[in-house]
Chains A and B, each alone.
Chain A
Amino acid sequence: MNPAGLSGQIRRAWAIARKDIRIYYVKGPVLIFGIFMPVFLFLAFLMGSRQLPLAFLVSGLIGMTLFFTATAVSPAIFPWEGQAKTLERLASCPIMVEAIILGDMIASTLFGIGITIITVLIGIALGLPLLHAVTLLAAILLAACCFSAIGMLLAVPPTNVPSNIMMLSSLLKFPLVFISGIFVPLEQMPSWGLALAVCSPLTYFTDIVRYSFTGSHFFPVLVDIAALGTFTVVFSAGAMILHKRTMPRRM
């Protein structure tokens, strides 16, 4: 089999993903930024806004969970591996940078999906009716890919200090959460807020989650899906191109 061929590189990407799952899922910063942070953020919000319906709150929690979890693993891997010199080992193996990125994205995506499914089950257990399960599953899969690509983009600056990337990551993630209709419904946003909201992929995912639980939505579902798909392709391609440029500077 040609090691440079597509199937050979996809097999290698899967090997990278399995390695990431074994190593990075239980790393402290991943758990803090991926799980504890959104949970406490949600609890703080829940206590301060008791008049909002449960469906709105749970939809927001699901959106936030997927966003935080899927962006928790991918930004940490490159700086960690650069610091431990394991990235140099990967760079001398017959695997393309694109396949390494794909592997990291798969690990990040699966982490996001796994934790988010638990949140969805909590919502159902609280008595919320899941009206559009297939749409929700498709959206979770697509958005998880999109958010993990955002995570990879955040790791582009060639620093080998994981805390630097985690800081940069928080700097971008929190504003995105506030403009994406999680805490304030899109219908109640001022026009400038809405203009910002359409630039965030999280907006479209949150809109689909609300549709899945309540049947109501701000954008047409197809627009949400198309927007998420476009963001995924653009961010993934961007991450691959930029990492290819900056990776030698980590060595």
Chain B
Amino acid sequence: MPDAIEVTSLTKTFGPTVAVDHVSFSVQEGEIFGFLGPNGAGKTTTTRMLTGVIPPDAGTALILGYDIRHSPVLAKQGFGVVPETSNAYTDLSAWQNLMLMGDLYGLPRGRATKRASDLLGMLGLLERKDQKVQAFSKGMKQRLILAMALIHEPGLLFLDEPTSGLDVQSTQMILSLLRTLNRSGTTIFLTTHNMEEANRLCHRVGIIRSGTIVAVDAPEKLKAAIDRVHRIEVSFDRQVPPDALGRLPGVTGADRTGDKWRITAENPDTVIRSLVAFSREQDVAIVTLTTLAPSLDDAFIRLTEEGSP
């Protein structure tokens, strides 16, 4: 599958500070890519370089095949941007903001009108379309920003903390729309602090720390990679011999805690298979089976703390 974003050695300095230091990664077409990192790690600077808002000092970024430095207009025509801070024109109405975006993306007026109506309806803003944006709540503004980013049906969408500080209704509406968009082929580059959101939404995540990429992988693989020893909790419908679990293939330790057994293993897949075979042989039923793998939070904290002063 071709790359929607291809970043090679991207670098940005502000005075003596290296904000982004030779960052390289790629995002495939049709992928939801999460871009994670602690505050000040370089996430927003990277996103701003990718969207052509600020120029990089070195390196290249190919967006949908166009170099963002040398063909910025052609690259920008193919993507939409939802920044962290709402930046609709508050003196204009929702409708006027969308028509302005339609004009800036070169849409014929008929198509812009149709898209604006559809998007405002989908995002629950159609009844407020003629109201000035300054009267909108934060959630409504964010939904409008999303509509503005989608007016030209972009193949790639950049989102910077799209659900930060939003109410549950707006958050669910935005996440649901992102899933629908991705299913229809839109590539999504999502900058977020919300690990649960990244875990549930992203096919792959990149973690940046102090301006350098420390990991790029699928969330589950990242979780697995940071902790070689996995824990599994299992309980049966009746007592099992105390030493039997410890001898199963793949099990490195088994401790009883209450009515459950806590098993440690290097390869959870082998152990789960062994436990299923064991329950069949011993004629005992498995009541609960829980893998206690590290969360994406754990992975994030481990990866962003390693090497920190």
Q: Choose the segment among A61-69, A88-96, A130-138, A146-154 that binds chain B (4+ C-beta atoms closer than 8 Å).
A: A88-96
Do the beta carbons of B73 and A4 come within 8 Å of each other? yes
Tell me the bound Cα distance from A85 to B85 in angstroms.
Answer: 8
Do the beta carbons of A19 and B76 come within 8 Å of each other? no
Do the beta carbons of B96 and A85 come within 8 Å of each other? no
Q: Choose the segment among A8-16, A38-46, A113-121, A159-167 that binds chain B (4+ C-beta atoms closer than 8 Å).
A: A8-16
Give the residues from 81 to 110 in chain A that come closer than 8 angstroms, CB to CB, to chain B.
84-86, 88-96
Do the beta carbons of A11 and B106 come within 8 Å of each other? yes
Do the beta carbons of A92 and B92 come within 8 Å of each other? no
Do the beta carbons of B54 and A92 come within 8 Å of each other? no
In the complex, residue of chain B having the shortest beta-carbon distance to the beta carbon of A8: B106
In the complex, residue of chain B having the shortest beta-carbon distance to the beta carbon of A27: B91
Do the beta carbons of A251 and B48 come within 8 Å of each other? yes
Tell me the bound Cα distance from A8 to B74 in angstroms.
Answer: 12
Partner of B104, one of A22, A85, A93, A251: A93
Q: Which residues of B contact A89 (CB under 8 A)?
A: 81, 83, 87-88, 148
A23-B92, A86-B87 in contact; A92/B106 too (CB < 8 A)? no
Do the beta carbons of A19 and B77 come within 8 Å of each other? no
Judged by a CB distance under 8 angstroms, whether A47 is at the interface is no
Q: Assign chain A's interface to a size class.
A: 20 to 34
Partner of B76, one of A23, A84, A93: A93
Q: Which residues of A contact B76 (CB under 8 A)?
A: 92-94
Tell me the bound Cα distance from A227 to B216 in angstroms.
Answer: 60
Judged by a CB distance under 8 angstroms, whether B90 is at the interface is yes
Main secondary structure of the interface of B (DSSP, over half): loop
Our count of residue pairs bridging A and B at CB distance below 8 angstroms stands at 84
Tell me the bound Cα distance from A85 to B89 in angstroms.
Answer: 9
Judged by a CB distance under 8 angstroms, whether B7 is at the interface is no
Q: Which residues of B contact A251 (CB under 8 A)?
A: 48, 53-54
Do the beta carbons of B89 and A19 come within 8 Å of each other? yes
Judged by a CB distance under 8 angstroms, whether A3 is at the interface is yes
Do the beta carbons of A92 and B71 come within 8 Å of each other? no
Do the beta carbons of A96 and B89 come within 8 Å of each other? no
Min CB distance, A29 to chain B, in Å?
Answer: 14
Give the residues from 67 to 116 in chain B that come closer than 8 angstroms, CB to CB, to chain A.
71-74, 76-77, 81, 83, 85-92, 96, 100-101, 103-106
Tell me the bound Cα distance from A88 to B90 in angstroms.
Answer: 15
Q: Which residues of B contact A18 (CB under 8 A)?
A: 100, 103
Judged by a CB distance under 8 angstroms, whether B192 is at the interface is no
Q: Which of B51, B85, B106, B148 has the most CB of A within 10 A?
A: B106
Tell me the bound Cα distance from A16 to B99 in angstroms.
Answer: 11
Judged by a CB distance under 8 angstroms, whether A215 is at the interface is no
Do the beta carbons of B73 and A3 come within 8 Å of each other? yes
In the complex, residue of chain A having the shortest beta-carbon distance to the beta carbon of B54: A248
Judged by a CB distance under 8 angstroms, whether A1 is at the interface is yes
Q: Assign chain B's interface to a size class.
A: 20 to 34
A85-B87, A86-B89, A248-B53 in contact; A94/B77 too (CB < 8 A)? yes
Do the beta carbons of A91 and B53 come within 8 Å of each other? yes
Judged by a CB distance under 8 angstroms, whether B249 is at the interface is no
Do the beta carbons of A84 and B96 come within 8 Å of each other? no
Give the residues from 100 to 134 in chain B that come closer than 8 angstroms, CB to CB, to chain A.
100-101, 103-106
Interface string of A12-38 (1 = CB under 8 A from B): 101110110011000000000000000
Do the beta carbons of A22 and B73 come within 8 Å of each other? no
Tell me the bound Cα distance from A94 to B76 in angstroms.
Answer: 5
Tell me the bound Cα distance from A19 to B93 in angstroms.
Answer: 11
Judged by a CB distance under 8 angstroms, whether B52 is at the interface is yes
Q: Which residues of B contact A15 (CB under 8 A)?
A: 100, 103-104
In the complex, residue of chain A having the shortest beta-carbon distance to the beta carbon of B74: A4
Q: Which residues of B contact A9 (CB under 8 A)?
A: 73
Tell me the bound Cα distance from A112 to B296 in angstroms.
Answer: 58
Tell me the bound Cα distance from A15 to B151 in angstroms.
Answer: 16
A3-B77, A22-B92 in contact; A94/B87 too (CB < 8 A)? no
Min CB distance, A104 to chain B, in Å?
Answer: 14
Tell me the bound Cα distance from A150 to B69 in angstroms.
Answer: 29
Do the beta carbons of B91 and A22 come within 8 Å of each other? yes
Tell me the bound Cα distance from A93 to B79 in angstroms.
Answer: 9
A4-B74, A22-B91 in contact; A92/B103 too (CB < 8 A)? no
Q: Which residues of B contact A8 (CB under 8 A)?
A: 106
Q: Which residues of B contact A22 (CB under 8 A)?
A: 91-92, 96
Not counting A86-B88, A94-B74, a sample of 10 additional A-B residue pairs whose C-beta atoms are within 8 angstroms of each other reads A4-B74, A11-B106, A12-B103, A12-B106, A22-B96, A84-B87, A88-B53, A90-B104, A95-B104, A251-B54
Question: Which B positions have Cβ atoms within 8 angstroms of A?
Answer: 48, 51-55, 71-74, 76-77, 81, 83, 85-92, 96, 100-101, 103-106, 148, 158
Identify the 8 closest CB pairs spanning chains A and B, nearest first. A15-B103, A4-B73, A85-B87, A94-B76, A94-B77, A92-B81, A93-B104, A248-B54
Q: List 28 A-B contacts (CB under 8 A).
A: A3-B74, A3-B77, A3-B105, A4-B74, A8-B106, A12-B106, A14-B103, A15-B104, A16-B104, A22-B91, A23-B89, A84-B87, A88-B83, A89-B81, A89-B87, A89-B88, A90-B104, A91-B53, A92-B53, A92-B83, A92-B158, A93-B101, A94-B72, A94-B77, A94-B106, A95-B104, A96-B72, A248-B53
